[in-house]
Amino acid sequence: MFRSQTVLLLLAWLAIPVAGHAQAPAPSADVQSALVDLAGDDGDKREAAVTVLGKTGDPRWLAFLGTLRDGNVYARPSGKTVDIVVGGAKSTQDDKDVIEILSAYERRPLGVVPVADLTEVSADRRLRIAIKPFLEADETRAQFGDADPAVRAGAALKLANHGDPAAIPVLEEALKKERVARVRQAFEASIGLLRLGSADAPTRILAAQALGGLHSGNALPALQRLAGDASLTETERETARGAIRRIERWGILVATLETLFQWASLASILLLMALGLAIVFGLMGVINMAHGELMALGAYSTFVVQNTFRAHWPGQFDAYFLVALPVSA
């Protein structure tokens, strides 16, 4: 019994490397065709191939597109077909330039071959332009895990500007994990902007209503286009106009409050300086010329505290004023 268990354990241990080196699933027919087209000379087919690989959303294919953009992808004849490989380290052997090659998807080492046996799959300007949106979208998704709320909100806006409806599930998933109110609002506004471009009229109406309720200034251009589109129903256009009015009224209110606050802030600073000079002059009979310098030191202390919070505690940036007040005093 003990001997049988030992044999079974030995077989299981020997099977682990085999399982670890099992071949990755074969790419779909569309992906295989796209790889073949990349090695061709037809610009339209090459651009379409990039679109096929990018729309898979697979991180490994997106990494492959990045390698293609950097000019490190090669074609290697294999019988009647052509294999697409990724180049590694280059060296010289027996007066020949050789290069390590890896498989396109799983980056499995395929050995070392002469550079002369490979044909570089170049990425011209047209191809780099086609690759750029997919890589930017992938980088933007990675920013959803950033510690800075401003970076996360900016990433949501970038995805909305790309106009790809496929980003809606990504934004919805990020929205479930988000806890900062203003970032959640940015996610909701981005989802609304993407849904505003839907082919479904009820979806567009709900999106316009949501954007109006969120007071999203970034949505104004899209809502204005919707309101002026004569091919749409009157209900859609009126909903868009209503959303525009809500956003504009909110903008006027915010601008008015900001102006009043700035006036009050400036008036308080001038009042403090005037009172300080009046008190000093009243007691000493001489104006204290260092009074302005002390005000400048207080302002600089506030600036330093603000930058410290931005660098080390971005999530609590709004609370910097509570620390800056005693420091500047």
Per-residue model confidence as pLDDT tens digits over 112-158: 888 888 888 888 888 888 888 788 777 777 788 888 888 888 888 88
CB atoms within 10 A of CB 164: 16
C-alpha span between 108 and 98 (Å, rounded) = 18
Fold of the 29-129 domain: SH3 type barrels. (2.30.30)
C-alpha span between 37 and 33 (Å, rounded) = 6
151-178: pLDDT as tens digits: 888 888 888 887 777 778 888 888 888 8
Residue partners of 97: CB distance under 8 A and separation at least 6: 90, 91, 114, 115, 116
Residue partners of 33: CB distance under 8 A and separation at least 6: 49, 52
Query: 204 to each of 23, 150, 207, 215, 236, how far by Cα in Å?
Result: 45, 28, 5, 16, 7
Amino acid, res. 312:
H
Amino acid, res. 93:
Q
C-alpha span between 14 and 151 (Å, rounded) = 48
pTM here is: 0.55
pLDDT at 289: 65
Domain ranges across the chain: 29-129, 130-253, 267-328
Q: Which helix (H) or strand (E) holds 62?
A: helix 59-69
Place 209 in a pLDDT band, splitting at 50, 70 and 90: very high
